[in-house]
Amino acid sequence: MENQSIELTLFYVLSVTVLLLVAIIVKLAIGSRKLQRSHDQKMLLMKQMMVHLLENQDAQSTKIRLSEELKDRLQQANRSLSNEIVAMMHDFIETLTQNDLLKK
């Protein structure tokens, strides 16, 4: 009888241990799923942020390119105007000289 009592006690201890281990495994699995979902959400947000940053980078690159093109055009216009002003000054001085209006 005593042997049977020990076996029964051992059975209960082992059963409780197995149930406890199963409960721990289930709890860990649920925690792992929650962590995975949280990680997936963070990754989605990071991907969206990267797309947004890439779009902004493209827009800024376009603005820089347009700015450089405008700068080049303004430099060309400045050179052209400078050349025209110098030519007009030469024509003006030549006209003054021909009409003897240039004071020495």
Q: What pLDDT, on a 0 to 100 scale, did the predictor assign at position 104? A: 60
pLDDT, one tens digit per residue, over 12-52 is 999 999 999 999 999 999 999 999 999 999 999 999 999 99
Q: How confident is residue 65, by pLDDT bands cut at 50, 70 and 90?
A: very high
Q: How confident is residue 101, by pLDDT bands cut at 50, 70 and 90?
A: confident
Q: Answer yes or no: is pLDDT of 103 > 90.
A: no
Q: What pLDDT, on a 0 to 100 scale, did the predictor assign at position 71? A: 95
Contacts of 102 (CB under 8 A, 6+ apart): 93, 96
Record the tokens describing residue 78, joined without a space.
């400045």
Q: Where are the domains of the chain?
A: 1-104
Question: Whole-model pTM?
Answer: 0.55
Record the tokens describing residue 57, joined without a space.
């980078």
